[in-house]
Amino acid sequence: MTEAATARDPKAREKTLRARLLTALSGHPDGTPPWVRALAEGDDPGYFADNGAVWTVHAGTGSFVAGIRALLIQALHPGALAGVHDHSRYREDPIGRLTGTVRWIICVTYGSTEQAKRETGRVAQLHKRVSGTFDAHDGAREYSAADADLVEWVHLAFTEAFLGAHQRWGGAIPGGADAYVREWATAGRLMHFAHPPETEAELRARLDGFLERGELRRDERVDDVVRFLRDIPFTGSMRIAYRVLFAAAVASLPRSYRKLLGLRRTVLPVVTMTRVVLAVSQRALGAGPRAQDFARERLQRLSAGEM
């Protein structure tokens, strides 16, 4: 089908959008690379229940906003930012960097315990080489991706971002916000975060602690990351949609983080515009199998007593 014919055919447009979304998220145009298909394998239900708090939040398209929001917040910690700046290939391969993060989230969320642990081990192996020095508020400090305060910060920022985006653009969370924070604490423990928060209030108090201790700051590296995140090299309709999602991430940030990042909310009705973008994305993704469908194959097999 020619590009002109595709543009005139709604189903063809939807199919093209789905392929582009899934390529960005999974590295595969139909969203079924081997690690997604492996969700149907395994001999246990995994760490999180079907239609529980974690499944609900991570299955929502509000997670598209959450990913950007998490990166913006994480960039404020100079240790976390040094790791990204010194060791990540996010500039040369932003889609590959995104896919790697999505892979861990999906495998831990929907996979068997074996797959979740295997995927976490893969990430930990990559993190072994992430070390160096950075300028902290109290002078030069050495860092490692395994440092307790960096593991804590990344987990807190991730949890806040996904919870906050879902509260703005998603539906009800089974058990409420506390259930999501409590369930996702399991992922923190997998990453060797010994005492992750288990309520929304505790989550926000722990985040505020980093601010109050002066551990977060904006500098030239933060501004550089923000510029990159503002203009990731998508093309066509994906570029337009991404600009809306970036504006949504900025608008949805707690004011203290937005101020520290030096960002302002757009005057456009970005909340409503984002609902439209997410609805279109949800429809496109729903036109074929998703990660949770493979996980449900495993659950159905286990329920039927087949090993």
Q: Determine the pLDDT at residue 90.
A: 63
How does residue 92 score in pLDDT terms, banded at 50, 70 and 90?
Answer: low
246: its two tokens:
């970036």
142 pLDDT higher than 80: yes
Q: How far from chain centre, in Å, is Cα 294?
A: 20
Question: Is residue 293 a part of any domain in this protein?
Answer: no
Residue 25: closest CA among 268, 288, 225, 271: 288
Question: Is residue 252 a part of any domain in this protein?
Answer: yes
> Which DSSP helix (H) or strand (E) runs through 144?
strand 139-144
Give the number of C-alpha atoms closer than 13 A to the C-alpha of residue 95, restricted to the C-beta side.
Answer: 14
Asked if 163 and 220 touch (Cβ cutoff 8 Å), the reply is no
Question: Is residue 49 a part of any domain in this protein?
Answer: yes
* Predicted model pTM: 0.90
Backbone angles phi, psi at 160, to 5 degrees: -60, -40
**Cα 124 to Cα 143: distance, rounded to the nearest angstrom:** 15
Question: Is residue 8 a part of any domain in this protein?
Answer: no
> What are the pLDDT digits (tens) for 1-22?
444 444 456 677 778 888 888 7
Coil/strand/helix, residue 142: strand
How does residue 100 score in pLDDT terms, banded at 50, 70 and 90?
Answer: confident
**Cα 244 to Cα 23: distance, rounded to the nearest angstrom:** 19
297: Cβ contacts below 8 Å, ≥ 6 apart: 39, 40
Domain that holds residue 69: 39-288
Question: How much is the CA Rg of the chain, to the nearest whole Å?
Answer: 19
Asked if 58 and 162 touch (Cβ cutoff 8 Å), the reply is yes
Q: Determine the pLDDT at residue 5.
A: 46
137: its two tokens:
């508020």
Question: Is residue 12 a part of any domain in this protein?
Answer: no
The mean pLDDT of 74-99, rounded to a whole number, is 77
- Looking at residue 137, what DSSP letter applies? T
Q: Determine the pLDDT at residue 203.
A: 98
Residue 31: closest CA among 115, 118, 99: 99
Question: Is residue 9 a part of any domain in this protein?
Answer: no
Residue 191: closest CA among 222, 145, 137: 145
Which is it for strands 139-144 and 131-136: parallel, antiparallel or unpaired?
A: antiparallel
Q: Determine the pLDDT at residue 129.
A: 81
> What are the pLDDT digits (tens) for 176-212?
999 999 999 999 999 999 999 999 999 999 999 999 9
Total number of domains constituting the chain: 1
* Alpha-carbon dihedral sign for residues 177, 154, 68, 111: negative
Q: Which of 6-10, 134-138, 157-161 has the highest mean pLDDT?
A: 157-161
The share of the chain scoring above pLDDT 70, in percent, equals 92
Q: Determine the pLDDT at residue 93.
A: 60
**Cα 230 to Cα 260: distance, rounded to the nearest angstrom:** 16
Question: Is residue 295 a part of any domain in this protein?
Answer: no
Lowest mean pLDDT among 79-88, 107-116, 200-209: 79-88
Question: Is residue 66 a part of any domain in this protein?
Answer: yes
